[in-house]
Amino acid sequence: VSNTVAELQRQLKSSSEKKQQALIQELANTGTAGLDVLMEFLQEQHANPTILSAGFAYQALHQANMPKTNEFLQTYFPTGVVPLRSEAGIDYTPVQQLLVKQDFLAADRLTLEKLCELAGAAALQRRWLYFSEVDNFPITDLQTIDILWVIHSQGKFGFSVQRELWLSLGKNWEKLWPKIGWKTGNRWTRYPHEFIWDLSAPKGHLPLSNQLRGVRVFSSLLSHPAWSTRI
């Protein structure tokens, strides 16, 4: 016996995030009545954009791609669920749009480009970062980029996710690489086709950080005060 929409809505309000995601999927599958519930749910999350279920509901509505859902998102969430705050005056809308489409490869490339933009003209030109530039990144901007990745990957991707794994492994890089699928035995995963560009990837797989010039940039990213400061 399938649940009624009203029953799903009742459960949605009182479930854990994990359960909420299954309910959101189910509601999206029931058609317009379920989508109405999702729109109401998303509006209630306006003040609480960091919860994963908000990102999940946003994506379900985006994928529904109906006049009513499109108009709703355009009206209430024109730039997505995550406030795109930037101290550096950078527009993160294009990153948001790629992540919503789950185009993780393009989002990864653009993320690197945005980090270079954050670092300044010299980095934009050379297309990679010095670790010393990372230390000066504004907390706000790193948090915005990170929350975008976390929210649109059901909590799987993002620097903060990579940091948690790294800390749980005693900051041991050699243990982190196989854990996040960047190395198998002695062999580095080859860019781009050997990386996994969807949610079947291991936790912490994305965004990438090229290790060609050493681990210091990645180390600076994961050590940044952004991850231990609330704004």
Of residues 66 and 196, the one with the C-beta less far from ligand UYC = 196
- The answer to whether the CB of 86 falls within 8 A of the CB of 141 is yes
Nearest-angstrom CA–CA distance, 219 and 206: 15
Q: Which residues bind ligand UYC (CB under 6 A)?
A: 112, 128, 182, 188-189, 191, 208-212
Min CB(215)–ligand UYC separation in Å: 9
Nearest-angstrom CA–CA distance, 175 and 189: 15
Nearest-angstrom CA–CA distance, 78 and 159: 25
Min CB(48)–ligand UYC separation in Å: 32
26: three-class secondary structure by DSSP = helix
Min CB(114)–ligand UYC separation in Å: 13
What is the three-state SS of 115-165?
Answer: HHHHHCHHHHHHCCCCHHHHHCCCHHHHHHHHHHHHHCCCCCCCHHHHHHH
Of residues 154 and 211, the one with the C-beta less far from ligand UYC = 211
Min CB(130)–ligand UYC separation in Å: 13
Of residues 104 and 227, the one with the C-beta less far from ligand UYC = 104
Q: Choose among 18, 14, 8, 60: nearest CA to 39.
A: 60
When CB distances to ligand UYC are compared, the closest residue is 211
Nearest-angstrom CA–CA distance, 186 and 184: 6
**C-alpha to C-alpha distances, 8 to 5, 79, 211, nearest whole angstrom:** 5, 28, 46
In this structure, the number of other CB atoms found within 10 A of the CB of residue 225 comes to 10
Min CB(190)–ligand UYC separation in Å: 6
Min CB(181)–ligand UYC separation in Å: 9
Of residues 8 and 116, the one with the C-beta less far from ligand UYC = 116
Of residues 72 and 137, the one with the C-beta less far from ligand UYC = 137
Of residues 4 and 210, the one with the C-beta less far from ligand UYC = 210
* Structural element, H or E, at residue 108: helix 104-119
